[in-house]
Chain A
């Protein structure tokens, strides 16, 4: 049982991070903390993909006569794209938080709800 868990430690890490991230998004009222949670959540998926590309005994996928087994580069490339998307999402999210702070004076969700309710 323990061995089964240890053999797949990469998945457990991904699942753990995923749950931490999702919980942070749901449970925290501070908008910046929500974005932090969102980032952790996305990172867990990046890890899931990257560990998928590992081939046992494989080396970095640069062609060379000395090697025959290479790791799969495709997941890395996919995740590079996803990371860029993640950066864009975070930048946009933070920009929104800055503007929310400027027009509401707070970035706490419950206070925002109160302020929205009054108008």
Chain B
């Protein structure tokens, strides 16, 4: 795709907005429709677009597969860690009420962190899947 100037320019223009939209869907998720799953996929699509247009090598430089694999695990750990935090603060597993001073504040904080963990894992998993399929030599 090295010679398709239109594609290269347009995708360079689009990628920041895709990422911004992903962040919006991610962090506006507790007030409107959205959440970690959707945001993760949107975020991954930015990387996948980059990989399609600029080649797998460049994409691997931007998002090293080793780091991405770490992020898959890190997201799950963020999720579980929030759950454990609820346990340590005297609530049940995944009880957000105890995370902040007020239950409502706790619910906000809890779901934000949880969805961030979900988003991280989903984005990283999608990128990993793309890398694995695209990187298969034939």
Chain A residues within CB distance 8 Å of chain B: 60, 62, 80, 83-84, 91, 94-95, 98
Contact = CB atoms under 8 A, between A and B. Distances in A.
B133 A62 contact: no
Contacts, number: 14
Contacts of B132: 95
Nearest to B126: A87
Given A84-B122, A98-B136, A62 B129 contact: no
**Lowest 7 CB-CB distances: which A-B pairs, in order?**
A91-B129, A80-B37, A98-B136, A84-B37, A62-B32, A95-B132, A98-B133
B66 interface: no
Contacts of B129: 91
A95 B132 CA distance: 9
A98 B133 CA distance: 8
A60 B31 CA distance: 12
Interface of B: 32-33, 35, 37, 122, 129, 132-133, 136
Contacts of B33: 60, 62
A82 to B, nearest CB: 11
Contacts of B133: 94-95, 98
Nearest to A61: B33
Contacts of A83: 37
A62 B34 CA distance: 12
12 contacts: A60-B33, A62-B32, A62-B33, A80-B35, A80-B37, A84-B37, A84-B122, A91-B129, A95-B132, A95-B133, A98-B133, A98-B136
A98 B136 CA distance: 9
A60 B122 CA distance: 25
A17 B83 CA distance: 39
A98 B134 CA distance: 11
Contacts of A94: 133
